[in-house]
Chains A and B, each alone.
Chain A
Amino acid sequence: MTRRRFVSLLGAGMLVATACGGGATTASPTPAASTAASASVETMTQPTRPIEFVISTAVGGGSDIYARAMQAIIEEQKLSPQPVQPVNKEGGSGAVAFTYVFEKKGDMHYIMITLNSFFTTIVTQPALPYKATDFTPVANLALDPFFLWVNEDSPWKTAGDVIKAAQGKELVVAGTGSKQEDEVMFLRIADLAKTKPFRYVPQSGGGAVATALAGHQGGVEVTVNNPSEGLGLYQQKKLRPLCAFTPASPTTGVYSGLATCKSQGLAIDDYYIMRAVMAPPGLTPAQQAFWVDVFKKVFESAKWKTFMDTNALVPDFRSGIDFRTFINNYQKLHQDIATKNKWV
């Protein structure tokens, strides 16, 4: 091959590379382009270009798995006239993603999957220029319950045993991230059962929390993992759920018949992780309705039902005023917790 031909070949290769890099990762529009488009964006009721499905955790995290499952259903059933592309904007316990979506005011080509960090992070980071209630709510698709977990070799059989032990000494516990939902749970337990303060070791994610408990890493003795996070190690008989922080025992799946924590003297049954979808602030009612409709169909699909069963999620579809009330309640709950613990 002559040098000249090769150089041109390389040039072509670079062009392809450029095209792939751009196409595969959805270049966000330049500020100029988005301003120019905004006039029409406000009046449209259907997306006219590919949609970014923003995920506030890294690839492989809980939210990521849920978002990709939803996206697969949207694509499969052709629920959107334009492709939906998951984009991970992890970091800052969600703050990076929230800010990114907040800045897309009034643009229906952005949606975001959220969990409780949507409240905990926004409440505890006063520098962020927005509140959870500023965003356009789309829908909640499921609630992820908390279980109380110990290692299989633990002598504790009920929540009562754990409380008794925790009243005697500082227990080492693990959870996802600092000032996040798992820590909220442990603070509530400590408060309710008058235990000694827990030594809370923040981990990088739900999987890591389960592993830490299974391996007694750093002496971890108790966690409040979600059912999906502990499932693998439970089936391998490394972990044992003691009870569920739910009003009633699960009736389906592998956790069927697990006692409620309330029945074992630990009366918390109102706290869940929401698996919800939000949109940028300022969408018109028609644009909001478009997305509500899409996710209603996702919720009703057989695939999502199976997915919820596998991961022991509680089916819980909320939109409109119902969802707004839910958001207001959770916002207030987390604000109170943060104030009480002097996080703000």
Chain B
Amino acid sequence: MDILNGFTSTLGSLAGGFGTALHPINLLLLTIGCFLGLVIGVLPGLGGTSGVAILLPITVFIANTGPGGSTSAVIFLCGIYWGALFGGVITSILFNIPGEPWSVVLLFDGFPLAKKLGKPALALSSSFFASFIGAFIATVLFTFFARALADVALAFGPAELFAVFIMSFATLIGLGSESPAKSVMMIGFGLLLAAVGFDTLTGAPRLTFGRIEILSGIGFVPVTIGLFGMGEILASAEEQGIGFVERLSAKVGLKDILETLRELRKRIWTVVITAVIGFWFGVLPGHGATAGSFLGYGLARQYSKNKANFGKGEITGIMAPQAAADASAVGSLVPMVALGVPGSPTSAVIMAGLFIWGLQPGPLLFIDHPDFVWGLTASIYLGHLITFTMCLLAVPLLAKIMHIPYAIITPFIVIISIIGSYSLNNSMFDVFITITFGFVGYWLRKMKYPLAPLVVAIVLGDSTERELRKALIASGGSPLIFVGSPLAATLMILAIILLLLPVIRNVRERRARPVSVDPAA
């Protein structure tokens, strides 16, 4: 009975929230926010986080004059976040450059599907549908379970998080390579790059060769812009542009949407499950859409029947990470609202906004400012609906970009790559990194080294190391901490199983196969 009462009162509050969010001016602000977010998302380098940060001063004005006060301001800021989530994938899919950190994983399958298989419209609409569904599921979870889940998330300490990261690695090992040895080498290279810079735990500079600009480390965004965007251009230039264009489906239209829906129906459970996992990952304070998208991709790949297609334009490889990324972005608002601690870098900026508008983030928001909380919640539903509609309408136009001859578009890709990496930190060093990794990427492609494991290791390496060391410091060096709590033990066992699964499967397949058919084995 209590649960039912809680449910109906939540629905009542939510209806009130929709009342706030649907105020014409709030709706207008939300639409502007989503549109700005889309543009910011499309530009590589200028991420959703910095987009929100740059526009933060404007929100002071909105909070003072808008019809909902700080609610109008937060609706506007969150609109930017949602827009950027959708916008980032456009750059990944069309230009092979990550528009946002969380669209890095979209490079693995998005660009191949758009370019090599000639289906840009399918690739784009797949990601948009997945985003929308992921966000919707996450928002429903947010509406009903935000406060309860935030409490559970608190118990996730370094040992538990380390197990989760090991799971991510386990599901992503062997990605895009026939040779496990090459994968392992690439993971090692990625971990080495991730280690560069100031060590937050001991305070010592590592692998900086005494240079100040390397102190802040090598960012994975300039590296991936180089590896994928520039590297691909160099590789294609050598092959004289390749006849991609001929393979493009001539017309873009309703047909692609219908095909997307058909493909989505086949994968609906994968999308739902990765969305739930992504949401949960977002709820854990301090992590966000980027790590969530990698975990979503890895898990979907591990359990897919078309495992071999991953990295070559598999639709699940677009839908799963995108659903997870959007869901974890929504999830990252949970600790902000329910605990008063940021769930992701972007939500940290939104939280800074709350302070500036004179609100105290945390559980008291539900009691002191219910209008704010429920207006925000309602705007998450609306914001995604608006962004989704805008994106879907833009698909035909965006897909046409692929028809532009490679010779014309290449200089633009180079320019936006360089501007993108420069604008990350206003630093020429990042541009240098991007160009260097352009050549590295080209060479690795030629030598048939897989790029995906390298990227995974750069993105997750630092966090994994930090959690491992934090756990060991807390336990005084005893590894027993990783099985010290029931939660940690369960997660660790799962991680180990995931790690061993491919090995076992491999051995079994080899045994089942007659030796003569497989001379390579």
Q: Which A residues fall within an 8 A CB radius of B?
A: 1, 3, 6-7, 10-11, 14, 17-18, 20-22, 24-28, 58-61, 64-65, 68-69, 71-72, 75-76, 86-93, 95-96, 99, 121, 124-125, 127-128, 170, 172, 177-180, 199-204, 207-208, 210-212, 214-220, 231-233, 235-236, 238, 306-307, 310-311, 343
B425 within 8 A of A: yes
> Quick check: B341 and A25 within 8 Å, CB to CB?
no
25 A-B pairs in the complex with CB atoms less than 8 angstroms apart: A11-B412, A14-B412, A21-B43, A21-B420, A25-B50, A26-B426, A59-B352, A61-B348, A68-B356, A91-B215, A91-B217, A96-B212, A128-B212, A178-B202, A180-B203, A201-B474, A207-B340, A211-B154, A211-B335, A215-B153, A217-B157, A218-B157, A218-B481, A232-B363, A235-B360
> Quick check: A232 and B362 within 8 Å, CB to CB?
yes
Smallest CB gap from A69: residue in B: B356
Partner of B341, one of A69, A90, A233: A233
Which residues of the other chain, B, contact A21 by a CB distance below 8 angstroms?
43, 45-46, 419-420, 422-423
B11 within 8 A of A: no
Name B330-352 residues within 8 Å CB distance of A. 335, 338-342, 345, 347-349, 351-352
CB distance from B121 to the nearest CB of A (A): 15
> Quick check: B426 and A27 within 8 Å, CB to CB?
yes
Task: Give the CA-CA distance A201 to B341 in the complex, in Å.
Answer: 18
Given A218-B470, A236-B339, decide whether A311 and B361 contact each other with a Cβ distance below 8 A: no
Which residues of the other chain, A, contact B197 by a CB distance below 8 angstroms?
91-92
CB distance from B383 to the nearest CB of A (A): 20
Task: Give the CA-CA distance A27 to B217 in the complex, in Å.
Answer: 21
Given A95-B215, A218-B481, decide whether A208 and B358 contact each other with a Cβ distance below 8 A: no
Partner of B155, one of A90, A215, A232, A306: A215
> Quick check: B200 and A232 within 8 Å, CB to CB?
no
> Quick check: A218 and B159 within 8 Å, CB to CB?
yes
> Quick check: B348 and A179 within 8 Å, CB to CB?
no
Smallest CB gap from A62: residue in B: B352
Which residues of the other chain, B, contact A71 by a CB distance below 8 angstroms?
57
Task: Give the CA-CA distance A220 to B475 in the complex, in Å.
Answer: 10
Most buried by B among A72, A121, A220, A233: A72
B404 within 8 A of A: yes
A interface footprint on B393-418 (CB within 8 Å = 1, 0 otherwise): 00000001101100010001001100
| Chain B interface residue bracket vs A | 35 or more
> Quick check: A18 and B415 within 8 Å, CB to CB?
yes
> Quick check: B157 and A68 within 8 Å, CB to CB?
no
Task: Give the CA-CA distance A290 to B128 in the complex, in Å.
Answer: 51
Task: Give the CA-CA distance A306 to B43 in the complex, in Å.
Answer: 37
Which residues of the other chain, A, contact B400 by a CB distance below 8 angstroms?
1, 6
Which residues of the other chain, A, contact B198 by a CB distance below 8 angstroms?
91-93, 95
Most buried by A among B285, B341, B404: B341
B190 within 8 A of A: no
> Quick check: B352 and A60 within 8 Å, CB to CB?
yes
Known pairs A21-B43, A90-B216, A93-B203 / 16 extra A-B pairs, C-beta < 8 Å:
A10-B401, A21-B419, A59-B50, A60-B349, A65-B352, A68-B352, A86-B53, A89-B425, A92-B212, A128-B212, A204-B466, A217-B158, A232-B339, A232-B340, A232-B341, A307-B355
CB distance from B322 to the nearest CB of A (A): 23
Given A71-B57, A93-B203, A208-B285, decide whether A201 and B348 contact each other with a Cβ distance below 8 A: no
DSSP class of B's interface residues: helix, strand, loop or mixed? Answer: helix
> Quick check: B157 and A64 within 8 Å, CB to CB?
no
Smallest CB gap from B463: residue in A: A204
Which residues of the other chain, B, contact A72 by a CB distance below 8 angstroms?
57, 60, 356
Smallest CB gap from B159: residue in A: A218
Task: Give the CA-CA distance A72 to B355 in the complex, in Å.
Answer: 12
B15 within 8 A of A: no
Smallest CB gap from B51: residue in A: A24
> Quick check: A207 and B355 within 8 Å, CB to CB?
no
A interface footprint on B212-229 (CB within 8 Å = 1, 0 otherwise): 110111000000000000
> Quick check: A177 and B203 within 8 Å, CB to CB?
yes
Task: Give the CA-CA distance A26 to B425 in the complex, in Å.
Answer: 10
Given A21-B420, A88-B53, A96-B216, decide whether A216 and B157 contact each other with a Cβ distance below 8 A: yes
Smallest CB gap from A99: residue in B: B212
CB distance from B220 to the nearest CB of A (A): 14
B156 within 8 A of A: yes
Task: Give the CA-CA distance A170 to B473 in the complex, in Å.
Answer: 12
Task: Give the CA-CA distance A204 to B200 in the complex, in Å.
Answer: 7
Which residues of the other chain, A, contact B412 by a CB distance below 8 angstroms?
10-11, 14
Given A10-B404, A14-B416, decide whether A60 and B203 contact each other with a Cβ distance below 8 A: no
Task: Give the CA-CA distance A98 to B400 in the complex, in Å.
Answer: 47
Task: Give the CA-CA distance A92 to B338 in the complex, in Å.
Answer: 31
Which residues of the other chain, A, contact B210 by a CB distance below 8 angstroms?
127
> Quick check: A231 and B349 within 8 Å, CB to CB?
no
Given A61-B348, A172-B474, decide whether A235 and B363 contact each other with a Cβ distance below 8 A: yes
Which residues of the other chain, B, contact A214 by a CB distance below 8 angstroms?
154, 339
> Quick check: A236 and B426 within 8 Å, CB to CB?
no
Which residues of the other chain, B, contact A212 by a CB distance below 8 angstroms?
157
CB distance from B413 to the nearest CB of A (A): 10
Task: Give the CA-CA distance A238 to B154 in the complex, in Å.
Answer: 10
> Quick check: B205 and A125 within 8 Å, CB to CB?
yes
Smallest CB gap from A65: residue in B: B352
Smallest CB gap from A203: residue in B: B470
